[in-house]
Amino acid sequence: MDKVFVNETGNATPESKQLGLYIHIPFCKQACHYCDFHFSTSLGKKKELVDALCKELVLRKDEIAGVVQTIYFGGGTPSLLNAEELEQIFTTIAANFNIGKNPEITLEANPDDLTEEKLVIFANSKINRLSIGVQSFFEEDLKLMNRAHNATEAVKSLELAKKYFDNISIDLIYGMPEMSDDRWKKNLDQAIALDIPHISSYALTVEPNTALYKFIEKGVVKPVDDAVAQAHFEILIDRMQLEGFENYEFSNFGRQGYFSQNNTAYWTGKSYLGIGPSAHSYDGSVRSWNINNNPKYIEEIQSNKLPIERESLSVTDKYNEYVMTGLRTIWGISLDHIKINFGIKYKEYAVEQAKKHIEAHLLFVDGERILVTKKGKFLSDGLASDLFLINLS
Ligand code: SF4
């Protein structure tokens, strides 16, 4: 099948600026207990929403210059889209954007949606990568999280998905209440046995305004324990290393050739245009975000208005973001990059702040780069904030 996505405006050169497109599909079958993303369980307005997404794509086609190298359908649950809706979105993108030669096109999918019929639809579209929200292969965990799929569907969906896609990522959550080390190890065994080339793995976090938060407050569910999460993270990084995966970002593990191009572009400060309710965009200087309300979003877009708020980033904001994202990756932060893009004072500040962490073997220096050691990994957010600048005067 033809996976090459071409359009008539395609004139990418090696110097062309890279652009990512993010499309937010704000619908889910049911609410997971831990989730604080923007979504609605009422699917009645799905068609209007897709029409609005397409209209927003047209309204914002010239907002950020660049050649589209990645397209990411996130949510919510993008696997709820049908063949016509996907086609409508791809046709709109092709007619309005300059698309690179072989863009990575990812769709987030939930296991309960991945029937053979649905996988054929996805495989026949431009999608060439699936990110599947497995979260756990155990019934107890899936019930606690209120996921829409069960443990059997988790395995079956991956076996089926592998028939149609080579580039597959799964999400797994660790540090859940009642999740023993042994159960976490068995989750990893299952992922390895299924030969999945990319794993994104996150500690369960308890966000305010979620059902999980209330259950913990009422004592119905045990609170999460940071020490358990850290132990699970250590099990994860040791096992993934043993299996030949690169821990190329704190939460992401990929075999060579399977790193997420979309996420890597984000972590390395590339521009992206976010379409749909609650979607964020970044053009290198300005960050913006759409309203997180489906009916209001549709209404505004239908009347040719963009329901967007914007914030200009200062040099210090950009430096802080660079440090935050860079220290989470295997590429670390470049002192040359800091000097060129933010100024010598920022470089001197970073070097000075890093000193004590280098002595404590939490950070190390490789040429002109500063990176996090294995010992420092679980602390990388704290290490980054120690290098942040509040005000350089
Ligand atoms: S499927 Fe994803 S977006 Fe939807 S409620 Fe669950 S975690 Fe949130």
Distances (CA, A) of 272 to 18, 133, 236, 301, 334: 8, 23, 30, 20, 22
289 lines ligand 1 (CB under 6 A): no
Report pLDDT for 391: 55
State the average pLDDT over residues 169-175: 98
State the average pLDDT over residues 247-255: 96
Whole-model pTM? 0.94
Contacts 24+ apart (CB under 8 A), 350-354: 350/323, 350/387, 353/386, 353/387, 354/387
The C-alpha atoms of residue 218 and residue 214 are separated, in whole angstroms, by 6
211 lines ligand 1 (CB under 6 A): no
Dihedral angle, C-alpha 385, 386, 388, 392, nearest 10 °: 150
Q: How confident is the model at residue 390 (pLDDT cuts 50, 70, 90)?
A: confident
Residue 380 has φ and ψ, to the nearest 5°, of: -60, -35
- Convert 222-243 to b/e letters by CB count within 10 Å (16 or more is b): eebeeebbbbbbebbbebbeee
Indicate the length of the chain as a whole number: 393
Q: Write the residue with the smallest CA distance to atom 8 of ligand 1.
A: 35
77 lines ligand 1 (CB under 6 A): yes
> For residue 119, what are its two tokens?
């996988």
Residue 14 has pLDDT above 50, yes or no: no
Q: Tell me what the pLDDT averaged over the chain comes to.
A: 94
Distances (CA, A) of 84 to 7, 99, 122, 276: 19, 21, 11, 18
**Ligand 1 atom with the shortest distance to the CA of 108:** 2
Distances (CA, A) of 231 to 26, 176, 244, 304, 374: 34, 12, 20, 51, 13
335 lines ligand 1 (CB under 6 A): no
- pLDDT tens for each residue of 316-357: 999 999 999 999 999 999 999 999 999 999 999 999 999 999
Closest CA to 194 of 134, 127, 115, 252: 134
105 CA to centre of ligand 1 in angstroms: 20
- pLDDT tens for each residue of 193-247: 999 999 999 999 999 999 999 999 999 999 999 999 999 999 999 999 999 999 9
State the average pLDDT over residues 129-157: 97
76 lines ligand 1 (CB under 6 A): yes
Dihedral angle, C-alpha 237, 242, 248, 249, nearest 10 °: -10
Q: How many CA atoms lie within 13 A of 297 on its CB side?
A: 30
